[in-house]
Structure formats: structure tokens, C-alpha cells
Chains A and B, each alone.
Chain A
Amino acid sequence: GAVVSQHPSWVICKSGTSVKIECRSLDFQATTMFWYRQFPKQSLMLMATSNEGSKATYEQGVEKDKFLINHASLTLSTLTVTSAHPEDSSFYICSARGVGGESQPQHFGDGTRLSIL
């Protein structure tokens, strides 16, 4: 149980392109989803937290107009990197937490490796 699907797994695109990443909880309802980015050999950096039906909460330093998050249902959240530039290249990972409160573990998708040329 607790499977999270993230697509696409790999994106290579030109600078200025917008990229959408999907995160789905397949066998549970995710009241809260999280978006992280991770640079090589570094820890996870939380970008934003999204709750179904409400606006995402962004961490300090993360541009909400640059990284658009939509959590339209209890099983789907999307992250759109708008007008992506080479410095946005990174490993983006989503996670989902089911009902049962904040002490429930986060279950992670497989991540999306984004490369902007």
C-alpha cells in the first residue's frame, strides 16, 4: 500500500519552457502533498506544502509564481515550473501523506529529473 506515482521521471527541455510534473497517490487519499527539490549529494529541500482544495504554502525563498502548485483532488497534485531556466535543473520529488494526522509518514514518488538546456 501507500504508492505514490510521479510523472514524468525525466524531462529535458529548452530554456523558457514550462514543465508540469504530476504526483498521484494511487491507493490512498492524500490530504497533504509536499514538493521537494534535491541537488546532488544534498538533503531534501521542501519547496511547498499543498492541501487539497486550498492554496499551497511555500517555503521562504521559493517563488510561488515560478513554481505553480495545484492540488485539485485528494489523489493528485501538480507542480508547474514556469519559464524554466538552467538553474532550475534539479531532482524534484513529491510526497503524499494520508489521512490520520501529521504523524503519518510521507510516501514519496520516484522523482522527476529536470534538465534545462
Chain B
Amino acid sequence: GQNIDQPTEMTATEGAIVQINCTYQTSGFNGLFWYQQHAGEAPTFLSYNVLDGLEEKGRFSSFLSRSKGYSYLLLKELQMKDSASYLCAVMDSNYQLIWGAGTKLIIKP
């Protein structure tokens, strides 16, 4: 079956750095997405990786290793507004998005 694993919850301190991991097992691979979802709101697109390596976008970076079925989202200089759930989603060989359950990130002052 298809499976996306990410931690349920993480806690970090304002101003620090946090890495949210995502491992996947899917039938084929056509890219991996990271989305941010604040409580009670719809997800917003953060990043897309289809090739191995690191993609940097401001305070957020996303890394992919296809051979390991692994990605992480790196958030730097954490701000209170970064408190949200972070969803990892993989596009399989049929271009279907397989969603992880999300990682709830709690930022403490």
C-alpha cells in the first residue's frame, strides 16, 4: 500500500530552527509537496521537490532524497505565526496526491 509518515507533533522555540521529516512509500513518484495549514483554515502551498537536493525559499527549505523515500522541511528563524500543521504529500505514478496526516508544529516563546 501507499504510505506517508511524518511526526504527529513537534515543539520548537521562537527564533530557532526545526526540521520536519517525511518518509514515503508510494507506487511511483512524480514529486513531493509541502503545505502549511493553520487551524481551521485551508492548506497553503509551500514547496515542490521532484529532483534530489535542497530547495530554499526564504526561511523555508525543502529537501528530497528519492532513493531513500525521504524529505524534510526546514524552518529557520521561527516565528509564532509558524505555529501550524505541515502536510507532506506525494504524487504517485498516476499523478494522485497521497497526503500525510500532517505534523502539528507548536512554537513557544
Contacts and interface: CB of A to CB of B under 8 A. Distances in A.
B102 A105 contact: no
A25 to B, nearest CB: 14
A68 interface: no
B91 A102 contact: yes
A110 B41 contact: yes
Interface size class of B (residues with CB under 8 A): 20 to 34
B43 A108 contact: yes
Contact of A102 (B35, B40, B95): B95
A103 interface: yes
Given A42-B101, A43-B102, A46-B97, A103 B45 contact: no
Interface of B: 30-31, 33, 35, 40-45, 48, 50, 87, 91, 95-97, 99-102
25 contacts: A2-B45, A6-B42, A42-B101, A43-B99, A43-B100, A44-B43, A44-B87, A44-B99, A46-B97, A46-B99, A93-B42, A93-B43, A95-B42, A103-B30, A103-B31, A103-B48, A103-B50, A103-B91, A105-B45, A106-B97, A108-B42, A108-B43, A108-B44, A109-B42, A113-B40
